[in-house]
Amino acid sequence: MVTRRNLIKGAAAVPLLSTLGAPLLKAAERSSVIVVGGGLSGLYSALLLADAGLDVTVLEASQRIGGRVYTRDGVETRPEFGASQIGRTYARVINLCSRLDLKLIPEHRNLMPMSSYLEQNWVRSDQWADSPLNRMVGDERKMQPALVGSQLLSKFNPLQNLDDWLNPKFADYDVSILELMQRNNVSPAAIRLAGIGNDLYGSSALGLMQEKTRGLFDARFGNQEVEEIDRPYGFANRKLEGESLARINNIEGGCSRMPEAMAAALGDSVQTGKMVRAIDMSGDRAEVRCVDGSRYTADFVISALPFSVLRNVSIYPLLQGPQADAVHKIGYAGTTRAFGFIEEPYWEQDGFEPSFFTDGTIHMLWALEKRPDEDKHRFMVVFTEPAASRIDQFPKDQALALMESEIARIRPSTKGKLRFLDMYGWSNNTFIRGCRHMFKPGQINAFAREMIVPHERLHFAGEHTRRSDFGMESALESGERAAFEIIGRA
Ligand SMILES: Cc1cc2nc3c(=O)[nH]c(=O)nc-3n(C[C@H](O)[C@H](O)[C@H](O)COP(=O)(O)OP(=O)(O)OC[C@H]3O[C@@H](n4cnc5c(N)ncnc54)[C@H](O)[C@@H]3O)c2cc1C
């Protein structure tokens, strides 16, 4: 019997297709479905379509498949530039790993306690509530500076179910985070702290509440003690006796092994170095044209591209109304991270905690607990918006040098003790242009429901088209939806 598992395993033996483009003037290649974009959502939809017996071609612009899943294999510690954390409620990801023989292992990325450097002053987390630097009021004072934005969003989040964010009942929350905070009489000092690392004016509170609700669902899943959910700076990742998965898991060997195994299972249906420039559905089949002159025709097309780059693809007939608005206007946010080793524990010298949060150039430095097999701590310097866009304006060498000198300036004990290995800024990935979609205020009401409706022969996948999940699981959720839409029509 041909089962889905057998199909995937059998196909895995097929070598990956050469990356050479089609010769000029070659006739258009035919298939049933063309998937544009070889990130998780595109690859997953292609696997499901292949399982259903459809002839599928995946066109990926980059020479690397996987998109926002990117294990930097050539660098010491093999940093994960993109996704890595797999929660225990990631049903599709967990199932896929099992089918592709990828092993899930507990994550070792436990964050060490965090001091803050605000207005040119240091303060430990255990002194923050009573510090004169803490100008928040009432109960707000208990929130650690790095967590103010996130904890206030949780506090005001009325959503209970995973798809509540699409329920018109909650339309009134599709406002900026700033407006939400002002409506709830948050103090100016708390708003100021929340604005470090959050685009208060440009992000929809409702969009972020969807993630909070999904995150809570993951945290509550299984046999975990509830108080751990609210521990500042997360929790120690644990695998309880009798449980098969830890709270947070990684893929052994790196997260990129997943898209690579998916592409191997699809064999020569996956073509890299194929940047799509046009999807023309004005004839009796869809024709997909690439910038290198190659052409492909199919009954159906799935766009698994972020809207940040789908807006550069010409689509005929033109998208209309809310869907056109969605493709051209939806917001994207960047994340930039630098990775390295801590050569000596600098915190023993100055008495502040190992990790820190700042209101300056360096957004956050995460010192990570030692892994069982390593004798040094690792660190990550983490920038979200607007700090991410700022640091991304520098070439990599300059950005790394700036980080090192600025960290040594504000915290002299670190001098010569941080060894940087590499960094990556997602806004600089020109095939994606950001770490993630981020609805602007009013955009959920304006187009979130309509933006995934198929247009002619074109269907939409990608994490930005999710309905109830987040992260990698949302990419698979969207790929599954798009594949089943087509299977229903084929
Ligand atoms: C820094 C970071 C950390 C993250 N951490 C986690 C985590 O720990 N856990 C988690 O679950 N999720 C995490 N995520 C989110 C997760 O990576 C994404 O949700 C998911 O990988 C998105 O998949 P996608 O298929 O929707 O898009 P993408 O991966 O962006 O795929 C889109 C693909 O389209 C290609 N493309 C673009 N233009 C064209 C064109 N014209 N023609 C052909 N191809 C084109 C791109 O090259 C890309 O490969 C993280 C993301 C980032 C950036």
210-258 pLDDT per residue, tens: 999 998 888 777 655 543 444 445 555 665 566 678 888 999 999 999 9
Verify whether ligand 1 is closer than 6 Å to residue 334 (CB atom): no
Phi-psi label, residue 176: left if phi above 0, alpha if psi -120 to 50, beta otherwise: beta
CA distance linking residue 89 with residue 137, whole number of Å:
37
Nearest to 157 by CA among 113, 215, 101: 215
Verify whether ligand 1 is closer than 6 Å to residue 432 (CB atom): yes
In which residue ranges of the chain is CATH 3.50.50.60 found?
Answer: 4-13+26-63+254-329+446-489
Verify whether ligand 1 is closer than 6 Å to residue 310 (CB atom): no
Give the rounded distance of the alpha carbon of 6 from its chain centre. Answer: 30
Verify whether ligand 1 is closer than 6 Å to residue 85 (CB atom): yes
Annotated binding site for FAD: 41, 60-61, 276, 463
In a mutational test of the pocket of ligand 1, which residue from 109, 305, 429 has the highest number of ligand atoms less than 8 Å from its CB? 305
Verify whether ligand 1 is closer than 6 Å to residue 87 (CB atom): no
Verify whether ligand 1 is closer than 6 Å to residue 99 (CB atom): no
* CATH no. of 4-13+26-63+254-329+446-489: 3.50.50.60
- pLDDT at position 12: 39
Q: Which residue, judged by its Cα, is nearest atom 48 of ligand 1?
A: 67
Annotated binding site: 41, 60-61, 276, 383, 463
User: How would you classify the pairing of strands 56-59 and 270-271?
Assistant: parallel
Verify whether ligand 1 is closer than 6 Å to residue 64 (CB atom): no
Q: Which residue, judged by its Cα, is nearest atom 20 of ligand 1?
A: 472
Beta-carbon contacts of residue 117 (< 8 Å; ≥ 6 apart): 123, 356, 357, 358, 359, 360, 410, 411
Verify whether ligand 1 is closer than 6 Å to residue 309 (CB atom): yes
Nearest to 301 by CA among 322, 318, 278: 278
For the CA of 42, the nearest atom of ligand 1: 25
CA 124 to centroid of ligand 1, rounded, Å: 36
Verify whether ligand 1 is closer than 6 Å to residue 471 (CB atom): yes
Nearest to 112 by CA among 368, 485, 376, 400: 368
pLDDT tens for the chain, residues 1 to 490: 333 334 444 443 333 333 334 444 567 777 799 999 999 999 999 999 999 999 999 999 999 999 999 999 999 999 999 999 999 899 999 999 999 999 999 988 889 999 999 999 999 999 999 999 999 999 999 999 999 999 999 999 999 999 999 999 999 999 999 999 999 999 999 999 999 989 999 999 999 999 999 988 887 776 555 434 444 455 556 655 666 788 889 999 999 999 999 999 999 999 999 999 999 999 999 999 999 999 999 999 999 999 999 999 999 999 999 999 999 999 999 999 999 999 999 999 999 999 999 999 999 999 999 988 899 999 999 999 989 999 999 999 999 999 999 999 999 999 999 999 999 999 999 999 999 999 999 999 999 999 999 999 999 999 999 999 999 999 999 999 999 999 998 8
- pLDDT at position 219: 79
CA 306 to centroid of ligand 1, rounded, Å: 8
In a mutational test of the pocket of ligand 1, which residue from 68, 385, 472 has the highest number of ligand atoms less than 8 Å from its CB? 68
Verify whether ligand 1 is closer than 6 Å to residue 37 (CB atom): yes
* Cα Rg of the chain, angstroms: 23
